[in-house]
Chains A and B, each alone.
Chain A
């Protein structure tokens, strides 16, 4: 076949023509696909139903067997995993007692709190002291102000106890994900052979929708905080691993060499040199991990974590959008506080400054404040928990605003929706759905081969075949159409915006806050008003995907361009480079590796959104996962979830290979 010949020619080093020919063939095939579909036998156009492998049913019954019957010796496997879950639950229970529940005695309706949990008055003071301690002289005051204002919001709006439940869950899962992520990332860098599998696994973990492993998690760990914890860590771990790998790889060998010459032990080399040098990348990993943990708050609340997530869900269920927004903002507040605190702590650790240098006895102050505030709370209960009568609310305002937009802006918005849907989205979808599956797989293989060679071509082809063979072809194509459009829009808007914003620190700070909000405000909170105006269906799904996936596009672009070394820019200015030349030859190359990670994360988050798109009535893989959940078919859920991951892997592998090649051609290190 022509393909094989051009392949051989490519091997001989004649590069341009075969790729061009392959591209032309692809374009021709895509253009002629309606004709092609008519000529091909039916089995090659629509995957025959009889040929679908019953993998889902098999996985389902195997899982049920594993959870209900399988045993090692006298112990059932589920008993072992549940035992482990209880161990994990101990620290959560301890923190819950301290922060949220206190100690109770009595029984029935005579239950009384004997020892109250940490009062909000004490809590705010302690958090402020902590902020001052890690923030140091420069960043300290700003951080303290942020924390006091944020926590006061939580108190005055009546969310303190729920926020504390959420906080304990998030802290434990974030610490677990960050520690585990740095460890795995480091191992993957020091043992290059496991690097590729680790990256693949992380992509799978990040993209298999949570709902697809929810039932298995519950089967093995039981309803409760530990199941929520595991589900959260699975989702939040990948950005930390990716960032660690990127950061450690970027440590200049000279620096390490210098340390070695200075006689540093391997341990010191790692902790005192590699890790601090890699800190900027680690910091963005920590940020993304914390954001991911908070992003899971709503889902975690469905399986027993409770807290703010449950408040959001209940409010939405009664369509109290303002109420849901308020609870959602409390989640954002926690996210921002945790993120800024951990960043300050990371900087402090890296700079090696001793905490004492501010000259303030934080420990003694904390003890004193705790004692004073606790006594005050015992005397006046309003200091323990804010009285319900004095709780603030802005919910009526938001509900009114949504109604106002709905009544006054509906027509132009609906016209826009109808136009996009009828003239762009539906035709694209219909075209993609009509493509013969054989042609798509051939094109995927071709794409893989062009990007990274024969081996990649075969790998991605096999993954596409997996989707067809397990019977999820149509939902998968619908997913590709939504995610593809969503990613494209996110990149078109996000990358340039990130570049512009990267110029000034103050712009970056403001943008970070907006992005943190976008990433941690429960999606449904803004999706539901969108549904009111845009109705259930694909358009609302697209809105959801873009609003979520645009965050990493902006963030990584901003971070990448802000991180361009100043010396290089000065050098460019000295040789009289034009703006465009500086951009092309200095900024872009320096930003390239981080931009690439941003591209990866944009696609990953767009795909991760498939779970949410199912909630506005699409017919994609997310919907399949959701249906499997509601019909208690864990096998279907997992296989549909793996199909989602397959799409993610295909996109990621091809893009990475392509970028590596493009970088090599331009002499940039990827």
Chain B
């Protein structure tokens, strides 16, 4: 497609990666993996999870471990980890999976391998062109104006605004938030992540009104220009104590909490591959690093493997200390 014969485009890359591979594998030769059984990394169908999984996988492979990837469902992954069908998962989001992870860790068969360092940010979000219709934004108090509500209305919610919340099972307390803060909005739930962003893309293309739940790290805030609504900062008391916050009679008179994104693993595997577990425990990533990598995959159409390999090659100084147990 580039117009050049593919072997010409391929060969230099191939040579470079071969050279890199031999250089590193000679260094890694000193380390002997504790077991040659395959380490199975569970992957999920969103890009940051796939990128992080492959980065971890490539590093483990460099140490000599055999690595396989297993596509899993976000919520249905736990029986697989408890039984050892999968060894590691690089992303477990507090915002949706906190209870499931805690329940699973309580069985003693699953390990919490610590936070990745990425933070899930979630809040009401609108495209920047909506600021004209509701000039007080991003301050949440602007939304109290019925005219602002009307600016975000759909035929079936008019004159109230339509707020597109996440799938019901994400929770999020938006119905309570609307009531507590007295916002002229009706909460509508999307069914899936894909359905949510399909609506955003459609609205954005038409410059149509939309107010919805957007989270990061995700490609959407990178692709679409917009802002998060500025609600009163979340504190635990806000969700439990009505007296807290601007509305003395209601909980949820604040924004949404931010949440950790954790790594998890099969407990018994630590005896089998102690060093690999060490590496995954040490694995760190932050929003600023992952965001452009997500963009490279979702917006520029690069493959996950290319992006992950590129990061590993360029950041040896970052990940080599994670693998201290292998003597790197």
Contacts and interface: CB of A to CB of B under 8 A. Distances in A.
B75 A528 contact: no
B72 A319 contact: no
14 contacts: A82-B83, A108-B62, A109-B25, A224-B70, A302-B76, A304-B72, A318-B47, A418-B154, A531-B202, A532-B202, A536-B190, A615-B192, A615-B195, A630-B167
A531 B50 CA distance: 26
Interface of A: 67-68, 78, 82, 107-111, 214-215, 218-219, 222-224, 301-306, 310, 313-314, 316-319, 387-391, 403, 406-407, 410, 414, 418, 421-422, 426, 524, 528-529, 531-533, 535-537, 613-619, 623, 626-627, 629-632
Interface string B51-80: 000000010111111100011111111111
Q: Which of B42, B63, B65, B83 has the most CB of A within 10 A?
A: B83
A109 B61 CA distance: 5
Interface residues of B, number: 71
A453 B328 CA distance: 79
A613 B77 CA distance: 23
A107 B36 contact: yes
B205 A536 contact: no
Contacts, number: 191
A-B residue pairs, 10 tightest by C-beta? A223-B80, A108-B64, A532-B202, A223-B85, A389-B6, A418-B155, A630-B75, A615-B191, A617-B191, A302-B73
Nearest to A312: B45
B210 to A, nearest CB: 10
Interface of B: 1-2, 6, 9-10, 21, 24-25, 28, 33, 36, 42, 45-47, 50, 58, 60-66, 70-80, 83, 85-86, 96, 99-100, 103-104, 107, 154-156, 164, 167-169, 188-199, 201-202, 205-206, 208, 219, 297-298
Contact of B80 (A222, A310, A406): A222
A421 B158 CA distance: 14
A619 B172 CA distance: 17
B50 A314 contact: yes
Contacts of A224: 70, 85
B189 A617 contact: yes
B71 A306 contact: yes
Given A214-B76, A536-B188, A390 B195 contact: no
A617 B193 CA distance: 10
Nearest to A528: B198
A107 B206 contact: no
B23 to A, nearest CB: 11
B103 A632 contact: yes
Contacts of B74: 630
B75 A629 contact: yes
A181 B86 CA distance: 33
A219 B2 CA distance: 48
Nearest to A302: B73
Contact of B66 (A68, A107, A528, A617): A107
Contacts of A623: 168, 191
A208 B219 CA distance: 35
A109 B19 CA distance: 13
A224 B42 CA distance: 11
Nearest to A628: B169
Contacts of B79: 67, 215, 218-219, 222-223
Nearest to A418: B155
Given A110-B21, A314-B47, A632-B104, 5 more contacts: A78-B83, A528-B195, A536-B199, A613-B191, A617-B167
Given A301-B71, A389-B9, A390-B1, A314 B45 contact: yes
A319 B65 CA distance: 34
B65 A302 contact: no
Contacts of B191: 536, 613-618, 623, 626
B6 A617 contact: no
A108 B80 contact: no
A67 B65 CA distance: 31
A227 to B, nearest CB: 9
A537 B167 CA distance: 11
Contacts of B192: 615-616
Contacts of B76: 214-215, 218, 302-303, 629, 632
B191 to A, nearest CB: 4
B168 A110 contact: no
B85 A222 contact: yes
Nearest to A627: B169
A632 B78 contact: yes
A614 B61 CA distance: 40
B6 A110 contact: no
B27 to A, nearest CB: 12
Contacts of B33: 107-108
Given A403-B205, A531-B199, A389 B1 contact: yes
